[in-house]
Amino acid sequence: MAFDARVLILAAQDGRIGPLAAGLDALGWTTVTARDLAAAEATLQDFPLDAAVIDFDSYQDDAVARLRAAAHPRSLPVMVVGAPRGSAADADLAVTTPPHPAQAALRLEQMTRAAVAEEEFDLRCDTFAARGLDLQPGGPDHSPLRILAAGVAERRFLALSNALTASGVEVVAAPTPYTAFDYLHESPFDAAVLWGAKDHAPALSIASGMKRNTRLYHIPLMLYLRGGSEMSLDELFNRGFSDVATADTREDETAERLLALAKSHRRYLTIRKALDSVRGLDIMDPTTGLFTPELFAAHLARVADASRARRRPLSVCVLRVRENEAVAWARQGGWLDRALPQIGAMISRLVRVEDTPARLAKEVFALALPATRGEAARLAAERIAAVIGCTAFDAGPDRSPFVAEFDVGAAEMRPNESAGALLERASADLFDKVR
C-alpha cells in the first residue's frame, strides 16, 4: 500500500489525541503516529507530510523547531493539543482541548495553504528579482487588527470582546445583520466573530451573505456558540465558518484563536497586494495584467524545481476560449478583445494567492497550482470557467451579450518531468477533451 499520510501525530500515547487522529483519518487527512521526537523527525525526513499535531504531553521546548527543521525545505504548520494557555507560543495553533476533527481538518487546511502561499511568494520574489524588480511587500502593517463582532451583547460575547480589546484589537460591535453588512461594506476587517444565540439564523444569514460576496468571501469567520447547537459542526464548517468556539471554550482562548485567524488573513492580504502590484508593469501582459508566456515559463521552471525539492505535487491547467457562433461574431466585431481585460481580471481574482495565472496566447490562459493534485486542479479550473461563463459581455448594438466558455486541460507533474513537458501535457489534454 502506498504511503499517503498527510499529518504527523506526535503522541506518547493515544489517550487524548487518539480520537482526533481517528477523526482526521475518516475525513481523508490520513495520519501517521510517532511515539517520540526522534521518530517524528525521521518520519518527516522520509515522507512529505503536510502538517504536524503534537500532544502536549509529548511537547518539548524545542519540539516545534526540530520538526520544522526535519521537514525543511518544506514549510510545516504545527498544532499543539492540550496546551495550557500561552505554553506553546512557537506553534501555529495551540488549543487546550482536542478540537472536533472537522474543525481540526479545516484549520490544518488553512495553515497548510498559508505555508504554501509563503513558499510561492518567496519563489515569485526570486522570479521578479531576476528581472530587476523588488516584490517585497514592505514593512508589516502595525495598525490594530479590526474584528467585527456581530450579535446581541450578552455576557460571554461581551467577555470575548473585552479579551480582544485587551489584546489591542479594535472591536466593532454590530447588533444586527443589517448593521453588520453596513460596517463590512464601509471599511475593511481582518476577521469577524458571530454570536450563536438560541436562534442561529442571524449568524448564518451573515455568513451566507459574506460567502456570496467576492470582496468579503475571504474574511475569516468564527461562530461563538452560546450553548449546545442543534446543528452539527460539520454542517457549520460547510457553511463557511473558519472556526467554531463551543460553549465550554474560555473567552481568552477563543480570543487567541480569533487573533490567529485575523493575523493570517492580514498576511494573506499583504501578499496579495504585493503580487497584484506587478499587474501594470511592462513585463506583464498589457491587456490582462497576467504573466506573459515567457515570464510564466521562467516562473514555472522555478516552481517545478521547488516542488521536487519540497516533495509537493504541482499541476498546470490550460483554459482556451471555446469556439461558438456568439464568440465568432464577437471576435469579428472586436468585442471579444474588449472583454479580455475583464476576463483576465476575473481569472486573477478567482485563483488562490499561491496560484500563478498567465496568458499564453490571445484567447488561451494557463494556471500553475502548487501543492495541488491533478484532479483538484482540473476542478479548480472548471469552477473558474463556470464563474466566467455566468458573465455576459457586450457584443455591440442590436446584438445579445455573449458569454465566454472555456475548454479545460490539466496535468500533474510526474517524477523528473520538466516544466515545459508538464505544460505541453496540459495543453495536449485540452485538445484531447475537445475531440
Residue 266 has pLDDT above 60, yes or no: yes
pLDDT at 374: 94
Question: Among the listed ranges 124-128, 194-198, 301-305, 360-364, which one has the minimum average pLDDT value?
Answer: 194-198
Residue 2 has pLDDT above 50, yes or no: no
Question: Among the listed ranges 33-37, 75-79, 271-275, which one has the minimum average pLDDT value?
Answer: 271-275
The three cell numbers locating residue 149: 463582532
For the segment 27-31, the average pLDDT, to the nearest whole number, is: 91
Tell me the one-letter amino acid at 362.
Answer: K
Contacts of residue 170, Cβ cutoff 8 Å, sequence gap at least 6: 144, 145, 146, 147
Distance in angstroms (rounded) separating the CA atoms of residues 161 and 170: 9
Distance of CA 192 to the CA centre of its chain: 17
pLDDT at 233: 67
In the beta sheet, which residues pair with residue 399? none
pLDDT at 100: 84
pLDDT at 230: 52
Contacts of residue 330, Cβ cutoff 8 Å, sequence gap at least 6: 336, 339, 393, 395, 396, 402
Distance in angstroms (rounded) separating the CA atoms of residues 428 and 318: 9
Residue 1 has pLDDT above 50, yes or no: no
pLDDT at 369: 97
pLDDT band at 139; cut points 50, 70, 90:
low
Residue 280 has pLDDT above 60, yes or no: yes
pLDDT per position as a tens digit, 45-79 = 999 999 999 999 999 989 999 999 999 999 999 99
**Is 208 within 8 Å of 173 (Cβ atoms)?**
no
In the beta sheet, which residues pair with residue 366? 318, 358
Distance in angstroms (rounded) separating the CA atoms of residues 366 and 72: 29
pLDDT at 433: 59
pLDDT per position as a tens digit, 78-107 = 999 998 877 788 899 888 888 888 888 888
> Distances from the Cα of 349 to the Cαs of 192, 226, 239, in angstroms?
22, 36, 21
Distance in angstroms (rounded) separating the CA atoms of residues 186 and 364: 37
pLDDT per position as a tens digit, 354-401 = 999 999 999 999 999 999 999 999 999 999 999 999 989 998 888 889
N-terminal to C-terminal alpha carbon distance within the chain: 36
* Per-residue H/E/C for the chain: CCCCCCEEEECCCCCCCHHHHHHHHHCCCCEEEECCHHHHHHHHHHCCCCEEEEEHHHCCCCHHHHHHHHHCCCCCCEEEECCCCCCCCCCCEEECCCCCHHHHHHHHHHHHHHHHHHHHHHHHHHHHHCCCCCCCCCCCCCCCCEEEEECCCCHHHHHHHHHHHHCCCEEEEECCHHHHHHHHHHCCCCEEEEEECCCCHHHHHHHHHHHCCCCCCCCCEEEEECCCCCCCHHHHHHCCCCEEECCCCCHHHHHHHHHHHHHHHHHHHHHHHHHHCCCCCCCECCCCCCECHHHHHHHHHHHHHHHHHHCCCEEEEEEEECCCHHHHHHHHCCHHHHHHHHHHHHHHHHCCCCCEEEEEECCEEEEEEECCCHHHHHHHHHHHHHHHHCCCECCCCCCCCECCCEEEEEEECCCCCCHHHHHHHHHHHHHHHHC
Residue 168 has pLDDT above 60, yes or no: yes
Question: Among the listed ranges 11-20, 105-114, 202-211, 333-342, which one has the minimum average pLDDT value?
Answer: 202-211
pLDDT band at 291; cut points 50, 70, 90:
very high
Contacts of residue 329, Cβ cutoff 8 Å, sequence gap at least 6: 335, 395, 399, 402
The three cell numbers locating residue 184: 463590512
Pick the residue with more confidence: 435 or 386? 386
